[in-house]
């Protein structure tokens, strides 16, 4: 169903059972999967692909040129996965040549009203971005992460898997996976126990990660010493190994 006031450019591809509401504008290189619903006044442009059953709410803006003075009109892309909820006034900008030519959002995400995903961001699956949460350019957000309302993430930072970033936080380093990271500037307050419980992690996994965060944050060890201690004391824990790998591969440093 395409409302008569909508503008759908020649070349746009719409899958089966799509809904395009009043005053929507869809550019000629946009591809919508099956069952996509685009509500009134939303704008989709550029090389943008939206996965099946994603719901885009009024006044969202997806795939437009980035807010980057280095952008020179290169044919970068925006890819949105399946079953996402993209709420009112969300902005998601296309990538740039300097950042891989791609901005991507995975599947089953909830991006609440007024949130912003800047150029070249890579967002995983099941990510929640609360109202007005903002990702600067080149940010990566791993699957299952939760970013609170009015939080800002500095460019080139990483948010680890199933991390919880509290509302109104300012994140200028990498936020650790499985952790609570809150504040301006943000600090890490240890394991996100409630999130682990809700996702039914085994008690052994929770205990191993809790001990790892104790060594990392509450002992008198520096980061390198804590990593060595964690490896020595905790065995057979894939999640703990993931935490250590995240720390060791950080380019900006991690929030402690």
Residue 21: both structure tokens together = 């509401």
What are residue 244's phi and psi, to 5 degrees?
Answer: -65, -40
Question: Which residues, other chains included, contact 128 with Cβ-Cβ below 8 Å and sequence gap of 6+?
Answer: 109, 110, 112, 145, 146, 147
CA–CA distance, 178 with 217 (Å, rounded to integer): 14
| Distance, CA of 170 to CA of 238 (rounded, Å) | 29
Q: Which residues are catalytic?
A: 119-120, 137
Rounded distance between C-alpha atoms, residue 151 and residue 149, angstroms: 5
**Measured in whole angstroms, how far is the alpha carbon of residue 22 from the centre of its chain?**
29
Q: Is 83 left (phi over 0), alpha (psi -120 to 50) or beta?
A: left
Closest alpha carbon to 189 in 161, 209, 225, 218: 218
What H or E segment, with its residue span, contains residue 206? helix 203-213
- How far apart CA 52 and CA 221 sit, in angstroms, is 48
One DSSP character per residue, 152-168 reads: EE-TT-EE-TT-EE-TT
Contact 29, 12 (CB under 8 A): yes
């Amino acid at each position: 169903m395409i409302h008569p006031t909508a503008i759908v450019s020649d070349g746009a591809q719409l899958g089966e059972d799509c809904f395009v509401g009043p005053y929507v504008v869809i550019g000629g290189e946009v591809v919508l999967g099956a069952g996509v619903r685009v509500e009134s006044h939303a704008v989709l442009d550029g090389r943008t692909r939206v996965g099946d059953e994603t719901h885009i709410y009024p006044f969202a803006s997806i795939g437009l040129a980035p807010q980057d003075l280095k952008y020179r009109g290169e044919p970068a892309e925006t890819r949105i996965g399946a079953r996402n909820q993209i709420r009112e006034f969300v902005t998601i900008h296309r990538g740039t040549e300097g950042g891989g030519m791609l901005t991507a959002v995975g599947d089953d995400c909830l991006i609440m009203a007024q949130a912003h995903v800047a150029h070249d961001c890579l967002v995983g699956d099941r990510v929640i971005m609360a109202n007005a949460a903002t990702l600067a350019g080149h940010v990566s957000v791993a699957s299952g992460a939760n970013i609170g309302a009015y939080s800002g993430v500095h460019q080139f930072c990483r948010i680890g898997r199933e991390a919880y970033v509290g509302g109104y936080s300012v994140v200028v380093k990498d936020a650790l996976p499985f952790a609570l990271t809150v504040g301006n500037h943000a600090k890490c307050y240890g394991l996100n126990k409630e999130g682990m419980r809700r996702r039914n992690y085994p008690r052994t996994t929770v205990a191993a990660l809790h001990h790892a965060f104790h060594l990392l944050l509450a002992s008198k060890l520096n980061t390198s010493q804590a990593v060595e201690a964690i490896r020595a004391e905790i065995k057979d824990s894939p999640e703990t190994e993931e935490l250590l790998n995240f720390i060791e591969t950080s380019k900006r440093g991690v929030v402690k």
